[in-house]
C-alpha cells in the first residue's frame, strides 16, 4: 500500500489507522487506513489532486446513519467539518448551507430568515451533505422538495454545480449515491412565513421525535426503508423483534425501526440482527425490507 507512505501535505489533519467507531453514532467499527479532516475546500481539492489514484476515497458526515463493519475500511475516509459549516440566507426564500451543517441547524437558520418548508430537518440527525445524497426526509417532507442545487467535488478535486433535476431523487436515494462525488454545499428554497410560526412547527417536530425515538441511544436512526404500502417499524414489531436482544444489539423498545447498540455490540451484532430480521419478515409476510442505514467496510 505505497500510497499510504506518500500522503500529500495538508493543512487539516491526517490520521493513519484511525478507529472509525468514534465517528459514528453506533460507536462500533474497525479502523480506516487514513482519515482526512480537511481544513477547507481548497485543502480538500489539493489533497485529492495529489493523492495516488490507487487510493479509495469515501466521504462521511456525522455518521448518524452509518454502520462501519468490524474489519475497517480500505483507503481514505474524508470527514468534512468546520471548513464546511457556514450558512447564508440568500434572499428570495433561498438559503445556502455547507455540507457539514447539521440538518437541525439548517432548519433553525431558515426559520430565523423567515423561510418555511425546511422545518422537517429539525427531526433529522444528519448533515446537509448526507441529506442531499440520500434524499433525507421525515414527517411527510423530503429533501427533493426544497433543494435547488449543490456544488460537488470529484475524485480529482474538480468542482462543479448540479441542479435539482440532476439528482434523480427517489425514496431515500439520489444519483449522488455511488457517484464518487463529495457534496460541498447546497442551496435550498422554501416559502415566506413568520419566524415564530415556523419555529412553532419545528418545536412540534422536535417534541414528537423526543417522545417516539431513542435519540439518546447509540443508534443509526431509521434502519429500514418503508416498503410500498407498509411501515417498517410495524413489520419488525409484528415479527416479534421489538426489544429482543441479539448479542449487544436490539431493535428499540421505543421505536422498532431503530437498531441500537445496547452497550457492547459489535458491527457484526448490529448487521447480523438487521439481516436476521429481514429474513424473518420476508418469510412471514413476503415483504422485503431494504436497509436505509449505509453499511461500509470489511467483516472481521
Residue 227 maps to which CATH number?
3.90.78.10
Q: What are the beta bridge partners of residue 163?
A: 149
Last residue of a domain, one of 42, 57, 82: 82
Residues 143 and 156 in one domain: yes
Structural domain total, the chain: 3
**What residues are annotated to the active site?**
172, 222, 292
Last residue of a domain, one of 157, 181, 209: 209
Distance CA 24, CA 168 (A): 27
Whether the Cβ atoms of residue 100 and residue 127 lie closer than 8 Å to each other: yes
- What CATH number is attached to the domain comprising 68? 3.30.43.10
Return the number of other C-beta atoms located less than 10 Å from residue 105's C-beta. 17
**H-only helix segments in 195-290:** 195-212, 232-238, 267-285
Given this model, what pLDDT does residue 1 score?
Answer: 66
DSSP one-letter string for 132-155: HHHT-EETTEEGGGTEEEEEEEET
Q: Which domain holds residue 271?
A: 215-296
Answer yes or no: do 104 and 127 share one domain: yes
Same domain, 106 and 65: no
**Residue 282 buriedness (CB in 10 A; 0-12 / 13-18 / 19+):** middle
Q: Are residues 136 and 45 in the same domain?
A: no
Do 65 and 167 lie in one domain? The reply is no
Q: What is the mean pLDDT of each run of 10 residues along the chain (300 residues)?
A: 91 98 98 98 99 96 96 98 97 98 98 98 96 94 97 98 92 89 98 98 96 96 96 98 98 98 98 99 98 95
108 shares its domain with 173: yes
Question: Cα separation of 273 and 196, whole Å?
Answer: 43
* 90 and 144 assigned to the same domain: yes
Domain boundary among 50, 82, 114: 82
CATH assignment at residue 158 = 3.30.465.10
74, 90: one domain: no
Amino acid at each position: 500500500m505505497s500510497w499510504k507512505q506518500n500522503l500529500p501535505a495538508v493543512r487539516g489533519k491526517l490520521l493513519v489507522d484511525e478507529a472509525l467507531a468514534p465517528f459514528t453514532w453506533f460507536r462500533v467499527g474497525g479502523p480506516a487506513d487514513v482519515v482526512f479532516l480537511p481544513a477547507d475546500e481548497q485543502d480538500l481539492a489539493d489533497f485529492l489532486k495529489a493523492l495516488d489514484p490507487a487510493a479509495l476515497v469515501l466521504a462521511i458526515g456525522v455518521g448518524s446513519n452509518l454502520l462501519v463493519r468490524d474489519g475497517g475500511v480500505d483507503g481514505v475516509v474524508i470527514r468534512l467539518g468546520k471548513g464546511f459549516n457556514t450558512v447564508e440566507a440568500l434572499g428570495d426564500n433561498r438559503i445556502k448551507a455547507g455540507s457539514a451543517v447539521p440538518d437541525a441547524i439548517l432548519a433553525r437558520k431558515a426559520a430565523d430568515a423567515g423561510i418555511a418548508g425546511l422545518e422537517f430537518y429539525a427531526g433529522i440527525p444528519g448533515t446537509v451533505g448526507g441529506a442531499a445524497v440520500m434524499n433525507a426526509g421525515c414527517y411527510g417532507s423530503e429533501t427533493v422538495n426544497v433543494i435547488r442545487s449543490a456544488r460537488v467535488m470529484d475524485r480529482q478535486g474538480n468542482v462543479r454545480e448540479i441542479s435539482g433535476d440532476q439528482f434523480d431523487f427517489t425514496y431515500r436515494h439520489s444519483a449522488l449515491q455511488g457517484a464518487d462525488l463529495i457534496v460541498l454545499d447546497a442551496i435550498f428554497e422554501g416559502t415566506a412565513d413568520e419566524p415564530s410560526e415556523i419555529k412553532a412547527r419545528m418545536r412540534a417536530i422536535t417534541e414528537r421525535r423526543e417522545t417516539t425515538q431513542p435519540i439518546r441511544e447509540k443508534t443509526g436512526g431509521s434502519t429500514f426503508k418503508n416498503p410500498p404500502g407498509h411501515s417498517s417499524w410495524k413489520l419488525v414489531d409484528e415479527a416479534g423483534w421489538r426489544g429482543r436482544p441479539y448479542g449487544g444489539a436490539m431493535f428499540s423498545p421505543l421505536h422498532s425501526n431503530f437498531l441500537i447498540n445496547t452497550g457492547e455490540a459489535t458491527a457484526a451484532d448490529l448487521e447480523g440482527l438487521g439481516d436476521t430480521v429481514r429474513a424473518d419478515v420476508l418469510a412471514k409476510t413476503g415483504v422485503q425490507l431494504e436497509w436505509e442505514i449505509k453499511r461500509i467496510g470489511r467483516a472481521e
